Amino acid sequence: MPKVYTESQKKQWVHEYQSGKSVKEICAENGISSNALYGWIKLFSLLLGKIKKPPQI
């Protein structure tokens, strides 16, 4: 049975990512998969109009 996370938890993890924390760190600390986190990042970034772009080389 999949775990259910609250919207506030998901938003908090997305905010941590947008503040510079790595996906690997967030997932390890909270026991979530990177696929789930990337999905929430995409969802909430589109809803809030904030998309973190990768650094330019």
Instruction: Determine the pLDDT at residue 44.
Output: 85
Burial tier of 24 (Cβ tally within 10 Å: 0-12, 13-18, 19+): exposed
Q: Is position 11 within any domain? A: yes
Q: Is position 16 within any domain? A: yes
pTM of the model: 0.76
Q: In this structure, what token pair is assigned to residue 48?
A: 């809030």
Q: Is position 36 within any domain? A: yes
CA 3 to chain centre: 16
* pLDDT at 54 exceeding the cut of 80: no
Q: Is position 18 within any domain? A: yes
For the chain, how many structural domains are there in total? 1
Q: Is position 57 within any domain? A: no
Instruction: Determine the pLDDT at residue 55.
Output: 63
Residue-number span of the structural domain to which 41 is assigned: 7-48
Q: Is position 20 within any domain? A: yes
